[in-house]
Amino acid sequence: MNSIADNIGSVTRRIQKATLAAGREPGCVRLLAVTKTRHPDELRTAAEAGQTAFGENYVQEAIDKMDALRDVPGLEWHFIGPIQSNKTRIIAERFDWVHSVDRLKIAKRLSEQRPASSPPLNLCIQVNIDDEDSKSGCSLADLPALARSISSLPGVTLRGLMAIPDPGQPERQLRQSFRQLADALKRLRDSDDLPGTPDTLSMGMSGDLDIAIAEGATCVRVGTALFGARPPKS
């Protein structure tokens, strides 16, 4: 069995290879380690191997890990799960990024609850790119208006878009889903309505990161390829 450090090296090389194959600039794709249900010691091992960005789906589990790793400098915490209104304050206070904003109400709460002493909270809008009933996310049709509204909020910065395409679809359709998200980001960047320039495409996971990178991903969210199969919930 490979160690976590070996897996980080393997995934990093895979990202580099996919980036080169796509004709993109080296280093333009970040690795976000998805660590839900993982033990803090596993995160510590990953950090010792050079991994600094960690993505969590559950607020209290994430806070416990942050506290356990408070002695490790330079870690960056990303919230990537569904957001409940009663959890926005602690997310605003403790996280650096939120990838899963899907409605203005949540963005406003994060804006209002971000401490003035903290840098702006980096936000990605989650897009339901395949219009799946089981997934959160705004529609492509609603995206421009939501992006404009979020861009005007204090205490947060609209950094880009996130999506989780249906993994069961054929590769051609999966590629098209990633391309749709990339095209949506380009339209936002080309718009005169936004005060900033969103630069992040959070898309691609262990099984499809190569395709996502070919279509423009700047952040891939990887769990299984780093830590192995997720342990069952206790």
- What's the CA dihedral at 44, 49, 51, 56 to 10 degrees? -30
Q: How far is CA 199 from the centre of its chain?
A: 13
Element (H, E) at 88: helix 88-94
Tens of pLDDT along the chain (234 residues) come to 689 999 999 999 999 999 999 999 999 999 999 999 999 999 999 999 999 999 999 999 999 999 999 999 999 999 999 999 999 999 999 999 999 999 999 999 999 999 999 999 999 999 999 887 778 899 999 999 999 999 999 999 999 999 999 888 899 999 999 999 999 999 999 988 888 889 999 999 999 999 999 999 999 999 999 999 876 655
Distance CA 124, CA 139 (A): 14
What pLDDT, on a 0 to 100 scale, did the predictor assign at position 233? 59
Q: Are 55 and 35 in contact (CB under 8 A)?
A: yes
Report the distance separating Cα 1 and Cα 80, nearest Å.
Answer: 28
Topology of domain 4-227, CATH:
TIM Barrel (3.20.20)
Nearest to 208 by CA among 163, 162, 171, 181: 171
pTM summary value = 0.96
Q: Please report where in the chains the tokens 């679809």 appear, as a residue.
A: 169
Nearest to 38 by CA among 27, 29, 47: 47
Q: At what angle do helices 4-21 and 40-48 cross, to 10 degrees?
A: 60
> Domain locations in the chain?
4-227
**Beta-bridge partner residues of 28:** none
> What contacts 24+ positions apart, CB below 8 Å, involve 215-220?
215/175, 215/178, 215/179, 215/181, 215/182, 216/178, 216/179, 216/182, 216/185, 217/29, 217/178, 218/28, 218/29, 218/30, 218/160, 219/29, 219/30, 219/32, 220/15, 220/29, 220/30, 220/31, 220/32
- The amino acid present at 98, given as its one-letter code, is V
In angstroms, the Cα distances linking 209 to 12, 175, 213 are 11, 11, 6
